[in-house]
Amino acid sequence: MARVTVEDCVDKIPNRFDLVMLAAQRAREISAGAPLAVERDNDKNPVVALREIADSAVDLGHLNQSLITGLQKQSEVEEPEEDMMELLAADSQVAGVPYEAPAEPPEEDISVEGGEDAGAADEADRDA
């Protein structure tokens, strides 16, 4: 096959988006050193990937799975704070040390000394 076109590959993979994604994944695998299933014929990796797909020389199921695996991202799930407190309590009991939850800070008295009359007394002191 001298030239490969999308029409040659659409028979194998009807969705053009899927075709492009799978061909790109195969081209990445070829760049990483995967063995070729067809002769290179001085073609670049994307063309070789399309030729392999058109010739049914690659396993599309394996290629699809490697594409999905490559696109997946792992994210850590943060535990709620209540669960963390329970874990701390359980860990301290295992270690033989009793766990005490941190005491809440005492409420501060932020009222102004003397109330409203204090402001009037201060003004009277200034006038005198």
Q: What is the CATH number of domain 6-70?
A: 3.90.940.10
Residue 44, pLDDT score: 93
> In this predicted structure, what is the pLDDT of residue 96?
62
Residue 52 structure tokens: 């392999």
d(CA 24, CA 16): 12
pLDDT score recorded for residue 31: 94
User: In the prediction, which pLDDT does 41 show?
Assistant: 87
Q: Where are the domains of the chain?
A: 6-70
pTM confidence score: 0.55
C-alpha pair distances (Å), 28 with each of 15, 22, 47, 52:
20, 10, 12, 13
| Intervals of the chain under pLDDT 50 | 1
Residue 34's pLDDT is 93
Model pLDDT, residue 50 = 93
DSSP string covering 24-68, please? HHHHHHHHTTPPPSS--TT--HHHHHHHHHHTT-S-HHHHHHHHH
Cα–Cα distance measured from residue 51 to residue 28, given in angstroms and rounded to the nearest whole number:
15
Q: Chain-centre distance of CA 4, in angstroms?
A: 36
d(CA 94, CA 98): 9
Residue found under tokens 């994210």? 75
